[in-house]
Amino acid sequence: MSRADDLLRLAEELSNLHAPHRRQVDLSRAVSTAYYALFHLLISEATANWAHESLRHTLGRIFEHGKMKSACETRISELNSYFESNPPTGRERTVSIHLHTIANTFVQTQ
Protein backbone atom coordinates (compact mmCIF):
# COMPACT_ATOMS: atom_id res chain seq x y z
CA MET A 1 0.00 0.00 0.00
CA SER A 2 1.42 3.37 -0.98
CA ARG A 3 1.59 6.45 1.18
CA ALA A 4 -1.00 8.13 -1.05
CA ASP A 5 -3.38 5.18 -0.61
CA ASP A 6 -2.91 5.25 3.16
CA LEU A 7 -3.56 8.99 3.30
CA LEU A 8 -6.66 8.70 1.13
CA ARG A 9 -8.04 5.94 3.33
CA LEU A 10 -7.38 8.11 6.41
CA ALA A 11 -9.14 11.07 4.76
CA GLU A 12 -12.19 8.90 4.18
CA GLU A 13 -12.16 7.72 7.79
CA LEU A 14 -11.89 11.31 9.03
CA SER A 15 -14.78 12.42 6.83
CA ASN A 16 -16.98 9.74 8.40
CA LEU A 17 -15.85 10.38 11.96
CA HIS A 18 -18.70 11.30 14.31
CA ALA A 19 -21.30 10.55 11.63
CA PRO A 20 -24.08 11.60 11.36
CA HIS A 21 -23.06 14.62 13.47
CA ARG A 22 -19.83 15.44 11.67
CA ARG A 23 -17.68 18.21 13.04
CA GLN A 24 -16.19 20.91 10.82
CA VAL A 25 -12.74 20.21 12.22
CA ASP A 26 -12.96 16.55 11.13
CA LEU A 27 -14.03 17.54 7.62
CA SER A 28 -11.27 20.15 7.35
CA ARG A 29 -8.70 17.57 8.44
CA ALA A 30 -10.14 15.09 5.92
CA VAL A 31 -9.74 17.58 3.05
CA SER A 32 -6.20 18.40 4.13
CA THR A 33 -5.31 14.72 4.32
CA ALA A 34 -6.88 14.09 0.90
CA TYR A 35 -4.75 16.93 -0.49
CA TYR A 36 -1.60 15.30 0.86
CA ALA A 37 -2.70 12.00 -0.67
CA LEU A 38 -2.92 13.69 -4.08
CA PHE A 39 0.38 15.54 -3.51
CA HIS A 40 2.20 12.29 -2.76
CA LEU A 41 0.49 10.43 -5.61
CA LEU A 42 1.60 13.06 -8.13
CA ILE A 43 5.17 12.95 -6.84
CA SER A 44 5.19 9.15 -6.92
CA GLU A 45 3.94 9.10 -10.50
CA ALA A 46 6.37 11.82 -11.57
CA THR A 47 9.38 9.99 -10.16
CA ALA A 48 8.35 6.39 -10.94
CA ASN A 49 10.29 6.19 -14.20
CA TRP A 50 13.43 7.99 -13.07
CA ALA A 51 16.33 5.93 -14.39
CA HIS A 52 18.17 5.78 -11.06
CA GLU A 53 15.71 4.04 -8.78
CA SER A 54 17.85 4.71 -5.70
CA LEU A 55 17.49 8.47 -6.31
CA ARG A 56 13.70 8.57 -6.74
CA HIS A 57 13.08 9.44 -3.10
CA THR A 58 15.62 12.29 -3.30
CA LEU A 59 14.07 13.54 -6.53
CA GLY A 60 10.63 13.49 -4.91
CA ARG A 61 11.82 15.80 -2.15
CA ILE A 62 12.42 18.69 -4.58
CA PHE A 63 8.70 19.05 -5.33
CA GLU A 64 7.17 22.12 -3.69
CA HIS A 65 3.52 22.77 -2.90
CA GLY A 66 3.50 26.34 -4.25
CA LYS A 67 5.27 25.50 -7.49
CA MET A 68 2.98 22.52 -8.05
CA LYS A 69 -0.08 24.72 -7.46
CA SER A 70 1.26 27.30 -9.91
CA ALA A 71 1.92 24.60 -12.52
CA CYS A 72 -1.62 23.29 -12.03
CA GLU A 73 -3.12 26.77 -12.42
CA THR A 74 -1.17 27.28 -15.64
CA ARG A 75 -2.30 23.91 -16.98
CA ILE A 76 -5.94 24.61 -16.02
CA SER A 77 -5.80 27.86 -18.00
CA GLU A 78 -4.30 26.09 -21.01
CA LEU A 79 -6.90 23.33 -20.82
CA ASN A 80 -9.75 25.84 -20.52
CA SER A 81 -8.54 27.43 -23.77
CA TYR A 82 -8.36 23.99 -25.36
CA PHE A 83 -11.93 23.18 -24.28
CA GLU A 84 -13.21 26.52 -25.63
CA SER A 85 -12.12 25.37 -29.09
CA ASN A 86 -14.66 22.50 -28.86
CA PRO A 87 -12.17 19.69 -29.52
CA PRO A 88 -13.52 16.51 -31.07
CA THR A 89 -14.37 13.54 -28.89
CA GLY A 90 -11.41 11.25 -28.61
CA ARG A 91 -8.49 10.14 -26.52
CA GLU A 92 -6.84 13.58 -26.34
CA ARG A 93 -10.02 15.22 -25.09
CA THR A 94 -10.66 12.44 -22.57
CA VAL A 95 -7.13 12.67 -21.17
CA SER A 96 -7.44 16.46 -21.05
CA ILE A 97 -10.66 16.22 -19.04
CA HIS A 98 -8.99 13.92 -16.52
CA LEU A 99 -5.92 16.14 -16.29
CA HIS A 100 -8.14 19.18 -15.73
CA THR A 101 -9.93 17.36 -12.91
CA ILE A 102 -6.66 16.42 -11.23
CA ALA A 103 -5.13 19.89 -11.55
CA ASN A 104 -8.32 21.58 -10.38
CA THR A 105 -8.63 19.22 -7.41
CA PHE A 106 -5.04 19.93 -6.42
CA VAL A 107 -5.62 23.70 -6.51
CA GLN A 108 -8.98 23.55 -4.73
CA THR A 109 -7.84 21.26 -1.93
CA GLN A 110 -4.69 23.25 -1.28
What's the confidence (pLDDT) of residue 19? 86
CA 94 to chain centre: 18
pLDDT number for residue 61: 94
Quote the Cα angle for 89-102-25, to 5°. Answer: 140
Angle between helices 65-84 and 91-109 (to 10 degrees): 140
pLDDT of residue 35: 97
Single pTM value for the model? 0.87
Helix pair 24-47, 65-84: axis angle to 10 deg: 80
Instruction: Return per-residue pLDDT of the chain as tens, 110 residues.
Output: 799 999 999 999 999 998 888 899 999 999 999 999 999 999 999 999 999 999 999 999 999 999 999 999 999 999 999 999 999 999 999 999 999 999 999 999 99
Residue 25: other Cβ atoms inside 10 A: 11
The angle formed by the CA atoms of residues 104, 48 and 39, to the nearest 5 degrees, is 30
The whole-angstrom separation of Cα 84 and Cα 76 is: 12
